[in-house]
Structures are given as C-alpha cells and as structure tokens.
Amino acid sequence: MGQLLVNGIVAGLLLALPALALSLTFSVLRFANYAVGSYLSCGAYLVYIGNVVLGMPLWLAASAGAALFAVIAVGIDWLAYRPLRDRGGVTLLVASMGVAIALENVIRFFAGNLPRAYNVPVARPMRFGDIRLNHEQLTILVAVFAALAVVWIIFRFTRLGRMMRAVADNPDLAAVRGISRSRVVAYVWLIAGMLTTLSGVLVGLDANVEPQMGWTYLLPVFTAAILGGIANPMAAVAGALTLGLAEELATLVMPVHYRMIVTFLVMVALLLVRPWGLFGTRWVTK
Amino acid sequence: MRDVVAGYGGHPILHGVSFSVRAGETLVVVGPNGSGKSTLMKTAVGLLRPISGQVLFGEANVTTLGAPARAARGLANVPQEANIFRNMTVLENLQVGYEFVASHSAPSFGKRLDAVLDLFPEIRAKLRSTAGYLSGGQRQMVAMAAALMPEPSVLALDEPSAGLSPRNAEILFEVIGRVAASGVTLLIVEQNTRLGLGAADHGVVLVGGRIRLAAPAAEVLADPDIRRLYLGGA
Amino acid sequence: MTVYLIATLTLVAIAALAGLALNLQWGMGGLVNFGLFGFYMLGAYIAGLLTVQGLPPLVALGVAMLGVAALSALSALISVRLSEDYLAIVTLGFAECLRLVISYEGWLTRGMLGVSGIERPLQAWWPRGWGDTGFLLLALLAVLIVYTVLQALARSPFGRLVRATRDDPGVVEALGKSVLGVRVRVFAIGGAILGLAGSLHAFYYSYIDPTQFGPIITAYAFMAVVVGGRGSNRGVVASAFTLIFLLEGSRFLIDLVPGLGASELAAIRLFLVGVGLVALLIFKPDGFGREPRSALADKTSSRF
C-alpha cells in the first residue's frame, strides 16, 4: 500500500508539469493546446541529442534542451497560433492538432520509431522499510518540486507573475493598465516550453524516449488540468497528484494497461458532477 | 474632443461630438440609454478609433494612440464592468495599476500607495483580501484607486454607479468628490443624472449621438427640459 | 492500373464519408470531434464482428450505424454543455479507451490478432472478378445518399438551427430551443455516418485490427473539411478526392527519391498534413467551397 502511494505520487508529479504548462497557456490564451504531448516528446528528444549524441551530462542537456525548446515554443506560437489569435478557441484547437502531427513526425523522420534511453548511471533502488524508491523516482521528486517552487514564486511574487495573472484574469483591463499582451504570451510559451521539456526528460527517465510518449500523456494531462479547473495553473498540480494516485490505486482492481480508462472515467465523472474542477471555483466569464 | 464621429462597423453612433474638459475640473456626460455615452467613453480612452475627428490630450493629438499609450501619457481609465482583477488581492491590483504605467520620474510605489489610500481609507484594511470577494462599492473604489496609482492627470470613469445600491452610489460620489478635490481632472459618463451632475463642474447632455446641451453642471440641472426628461419631473 | 484506381476511389469514398460526418459535426455544428477515429473504429468492429458471426453484412452495417450514433450521442451528452475544448478531449478519451478495450479484450474482439474473413455486402450480385468494382459502386452510392441527405438537412429548418447554435448558442437558447438537444442530435447523425464509413472500411479490407485505427484518421477528416470549406458538403467530397489521390500518389515518390525509407516518407507525408492543416486555417480559412444556405437561411443568419 505504501509503495502504491509512492508510485502514485511519482506518477502524479510526472503529470504535474505538463498539466501546469497546459493550464498556464489556457489561462492566458483561452485555448487548449492539444500539442502539449508533442511538446513533451520534442523536448525529450532535444535533451536526448544533448545527452547521448553530444555526450553532455543529463542535467546540462536538460537545461540546454529546455532553453532551446522554450524558444521553439515561442516560435511555434509566432508561426502557427498568433495569426489565428482572433479566430477563437476552436480554430486554435484544430490548429494545435496540426502542430502536434507535424512535430511528432519531425521526430519520427529524424529519430525513427525505436525507443531510446538516456545515458545515466544505473543505481540500485533505495529501500525505506517496505518501500522502494529508485533513483529515477527520486530525480522526478526533486526536479518537479523544484520546478513547481520556481513557477510558484514567479507567479506569486514577481512583476512577471502579476502580468501573467492580470492577463489571465481580465485581458481588457490588463491592456488598459499598460500590460502588453503579446509580451505576456511570449513569456507564457517560454515557461510552458521549459516545463514540457523538463517533464519530457522525466518521463523519458521513468520509461523510454519514444515518439509516442507525449501522446500517451495527452489524455492524463488534460484530465489533470480539468481536475484542477483548467484556467487555474497551480490547481492543475493538485489535479495531477490526485489523478496519479487514482491511477495507481486503481491497479488494485484493474489491469495496468487500463490506466487510461481510469483517467477517462475520472474525467467523465468530473465533467458530469463538477465541470469547473475539483479545486477550482466556478468559472465566470465576465 | 473635436468633431468626433465614431461607431462600430462603419455605423456611426456619435455624429460629430465636440467638447473639452479643463484641467482640474470635472465633466459629467449624461444621457439616456443608447445615446452613445459608452461609445464616447471608448473613443476618449482609446479603445475605439474614431471614424473621423480628433481626440486631443493637452496639446497633443492622441487620436491614433491605443489605450496603453494614452495610459502612459497620464489618462487613467476605469471601465464600467470588470474593472478589477478579481482573483488578485487588492494590493496586487494597486501594484498592477502602478507598475506598467508609471514613468521613471513618478513618485515611488510606496508614496503613491500612501497617497491613494489617504483618498480611499475604506480599502486600507482590505489590502490582503482577494478583490473579487469585496462588495460592489469597495470594488469600484479598488478600481479607481488602481487607476490613480500612477498619478494620472485625467481619470475617466465609465458609469461608476452602475450596479450599486442608491446608498452605495451616494457614498461613491462622495469619494469621487474627494478625488476631484485632490486636483485630478475627471471625465465621467453617468446614467444617474442627478448624482453625476451634482459632483461635476460641467455637464454635457448627449442625445442620439449629438450634444443637446453643454453648460455648467448647475445650469444643466436647472434646465427645465432636462429636469422633465431625465429627472422624472422632480 | 485500373485495379489501383478502383482501390484508391474506394478509399476516397470512405474518406469522403468521414469528412462529411465531421463537416456536419464541426463544419455546421461547431462541435470538435477529436475522437473521430474511435467512432470510425467502433463502426468497423461492430460491422466486422457481427458479419463474422454470420449476420448479413447489410444488417451488421445498420447495427453499426445505430450503435455508433448512440455512443456519439452519449459522449456528446457528457460534455456539450461545456465548451468545445471539453468535447474535443472527451471524444479523444473515448476513442483511446475504445482502442485499449479492443486491443485487450480478446475474447470479444480477438485483440491484436484482428478480425479476419469479413464478408462484403451483396457480393453475390457481381460477376466473378468484379467484386471490387461492385463494392466501389456500393461505396459511391453510400456517399451519394449521405451527401443528398446532408444537403437537404443543411437547407432545412433544422440545418438553420444547427448553424445558429454554432454561431450563437445564447440566441438559440433565448428563442426557447434546446442547444443541448441540437448538439446531441448533430453528434448522433454524424456518428451514424462515421459508423457507415467504418463499416465500409471493415468490408473493404475484410480484415481489421487495432493498429489500423489512429488519430491520423481524425487528422485526415479535419484536413478534408478545412480544405473543402467548413460547411460545404460538395467541397468536402472534392477535397477528400484530392487528398487521397495526393496521399496515395506520394507513395510513388519512394522510387524517385533515393535513400528515403517507407517510414521516413510516411513521416514527411504526415508532417505535411500537419503543416498544411495549420497553413490552411491561416491562409484559406474558408477553404475552397461554400456553405450551402437557402435564401431564407441567409436572411435569418444575418440576424445572428
């Protein structure tokens, strides 16, 4: 049971960063970026290049990859989403499907379909009584908490954070108050790009680096974000942890390969009962 | 504002409106629903570009400038609805009001905060509360306080009493009087004719997108036509 | 070459049906169905499994259409009172889960082994050796029927209501019509057409397994609608034709460009599909077709 809880928390933490990225972009741009899964895969592959092809240590490759992909995310926005900004969330959603397909096939073209692994030293798992914690899980724990802390501090206490929250809260008033929306949008994509890359690395550590990795995370990430109330970035983290635990506990009664079904059932139940999210307050558009 | 024609999608709502507010004075625009009051306000603050005519700010022609650029020149704006960041604290609302508009030569945030809280002592105790949970009257004060943070020379208020109870509206106009006394030029669009004109130096009556009467507020209030039309014959 | 042409045209017919279904749901109704491939897959499996159980293929096809329509309505019910983003993700979740169930519940679906030996409808009608041609005619007939029905629907009062619901649900609600009811019906009708398309897929290949169905089917349908012009049924059929020929034709490129393997070529093709989708949305938002409207519809729509 203790082991299940630990695994559930780790699974939830893996979801937390992309869910945070998804709801961050949603809160400012009002569209659900379906390509968030592909962003995760792309980031993971960029870091793979640094780590395995160029021989950097993983932390360095991850930092470089995150910085690079953050810029790419801004570039994608500039090319694909910005021209469609005034055309509504649905058009952007469909466009993000196009972006997702394009990115995934860039990966397939250059890297093929075979799963790959990062070059990290193999270490024995640590034991705490009955509970086993391997090094990858420890890395995930530390990295996700660190990233969440940084984002939370930016959000809560900095000028940039106030800018982002102001635009998310009331874009018209933010413009009246002298905040440039396009700058906020660029910052949001930078942060989202870094978060998805980092999560791609962690997912790659936990399992493998493969073109499908983002796709398998897409549904859980959306569910986690909806659990939190999709326009509420920090609550998305709570949603991710809840979902991770639910998925792991469900393995007691369901085969492991049906994780996705657990996710789906959680989402459906939530949409029927509390569509504004488990932790969110009712969304009022005014 | 000079000969302004403005509207949406090529349909003019304002048909050549001209008026001016002298520095330090308060001008209230009144008029029935659909007379073009809010179009006038949007044109004044830069949310709507006029079809023809000019918007002048001091000596400068600001007709083509958007809202943020006008804000940077000292024109602060309190929109009618959704005029606060509901999910942020009152203090954060004031910070956002200050930090993206104030010029480098402006007084420090702390100084402005003290000055503004002196005008609105009611919100001093609420600085840490989430703005969305305040009462309607308090929210209006937060909105005005945030707009006043960068020490603007002109403050534009769009229907400040909308949605407030008569009692709260009266309290709010007392506060507006305090703001006017502090030397800020005020441009107010108001549906509540009596309250609005009572707080103003000058009044403009807008009907069907044209100015029907422009005169000192007391004269407008005393005008028999206006009394009959908008003050219910009182 | 004739064989190849017949095969490609059959694929065109199936793609056109999927495109028409999406055109009703998204083009006319504004409802984003990202799980389109799941409904298509469900149609294929219902038709395929029932046929191998000995049911006449046309009966199996009918059951498939009804079954997919029912499930479409259900998934719409879950989410249509929320914004379109939620519907997109719920349908996607539904499709993924369906694929998992079909992959793992071997006792029902034969799992990854797939269902083989699916008999085509009305095969006895055609002379020996003309089976593929006969099936193509059947598929084209299906497209014609669906097209006619959808055209009539688009011009009917219900069609106006659907467009009004897309453009301004608030107004429709204010007029006393149920937005939820409209959306559920639109989704169900679209689902029936997807069930039809999926059934034809199963009949045509006579073998189905879970790997044949993926999100790329959804992408093709969206591409067909975006190219054809949202709301234009004629445009969607024409663009399904063009798309399938381009995609099939690009397979020959493998001989022309040395050093490219099949998987690289597939990657390039899909990359272009993705980029093309975005580019079309940006540069040609109305596609190449036109939404059919009656004169009356034009008058009413100008109010919205």
Q: Which of B95, B96, B101, B151 to mutate to test the interface with A (most CBs of A within 10 A)?
A: B96
CB A3 within 8 A of CB A221: no
**C97, A267: Cβ pair inside 8 Å?**
no
Choice between B227 and C53, residue whose per-residue pLDDT is larger: C53
**A101, C271: Cβ pair inside 8 Å?**
yes
In A, minimum Cα distance to C26 occurs at A90
Inform me whether the pLDDT recorded for A283 exceeds 60. Answer: no
With respect to residue A274, please indicate whether it lies within any of the assigned structural domains: no
> Does C266 contact chain A (CB < 8 Å)?
yes
With respect to residue A268, please indicate whether it lies within any of the assigned structural domains: no
Give the separation between CA A230 and CA A85, rounded to whole angstroms: 19
How much is the pLDDT for B7? Answer: 57
How much is the pLDDT for B224? Answer: 74
| Residue A286: pLDDT band with limits 50, 70, 90 | very low
**B146, A177: Cβ pair inside 8 Å?**
yes
With respect to residue C175, please indicate whether it lies within any of the assigned structural domains: yes
Question: At residue B53, what are phi and psi to the nearest 5 degrees?
Answer: 95, 180
**C100, A261: Cβ pair inside 8 Å?**
yes
Domain of A194 in residue numbering reads as 16-217
Choice between A284 and B4, residue whose per-residue pLDDT is larger: B4
**B84, A166: Cβ pair inside 8 Å?**
no
Inform me whether the pLDDT recorded for A69 exceeds 90. Answer: yes
Least confident stretch, C38-52, C69-83, C205-219: C69-83
| Residue B229: pLDDT band with limits 50, 70, 90 | low
Please indicate whether chains B and C are in contact, defined as at least 3 beta carbon pairs under 8 Å.
no
The mean pLDDT value for C9-36 works out to: 92
> Does A166 contact chain B (CB < 8 Å)?
yes
Quick one: DSSP state of residue A130? T
Q: Which residues pair with B186 in a beta bridge?
A: B26, B155
Quick one: DSSP state of residue A85? G
pLDDT in tens, B140-154: 889 999 998 988 888
Choice between A116 and B33, residue whose per-residue pLDDT is larger: A116
pLDDT in tens, C159-183: 988 888 888 888 888 888 888 888 8
- In chain B, how many domains are there? 1
Pair of tokens at residue C167 = 């453009």
Inform me whether the pLDDT recorded for C294 exceeds 60. Answer: no
In A, minimum Cα distance to B86 occurs at A169
Residue keyed to tokens 């990115």: A103
Least confident stretch, A26-35, A260-269, C173-182: C173-182
State the average pLDDT for chain B: 81
Task: For residue C222, give the nearest of A79, A94, A113 by CB distance.
Answer: A94
- Cα C302 to Cα B161, C160, C165, C297, distances in angstroms: 35, 12, 14, 8
Identify the three-state secondary structure at position A129.
Answer: coil
In A, minimum Cα distance to B149 occurs at A177
Choice between B56 and B6, residue whose per-residue pLDDT is larger: B56
**C266, A108: Cβ pair inside 8 Å?**
yes
Q: Which of A109, A218, A221 to mutate to test the interface with C (most CBs of C within 10 A)?
A: A109
The mean pLDDT value for B119-145 works out to: 87
Inform me whether the pLDDT recorded for C83 exceeds 80. Answer: no
- In chain C, how many domains are there? 1
| Residue A187: pLDDT band with limits 50, 70, 90 | very high
**B84, A172: Cβ pair inside 8 Å?**
no
Inform me whether the pLDDT recorded for B234 exceeds 60. Answer: no
Domain of B83 in residue numbering reads as 2-230
The mean pLDDT value for C73-101 works out to: 83
Amino acid found at A121: P
- In chain A, how many domains are there? 1
With respect to residue C165, please indicate whether it lies within any of the assigned structural domains: yes
B208 Rama class: left (phi>0) / alpha (psi -120 to 50) / beta: left
**A97, C85: Cβ pair inside 8 Å?**
no
For the residues of B62-78, what is the DSSP string, one character each? -TT--HHHHHHTTEEEE
With respect to residue A223, please indicate whether it lies within any of the assigned structural domains: no
Domain of C102 in residue numbering reads as 2-213
| Residue A153: pLDDT band with limits 50, 70, 90 | very high
The mean pLDDT value for B80-95 works out to: 88
Chain A nearest C-alpha distance from C125 (Å): 42
| Residue C118: pLDDT band with limits 50, 70, 90 | confident
State the average pLDDT for chain A: 89
With respect to residue C248, please indicate whether it lies within any of the assigned structural domains: no
| Residue B172: pLDDT band with limits 50, 70, 90 | confident
How much is the pLDDT for B1? Answer: 54
How much is the pLDDT for C304? Answer: 32
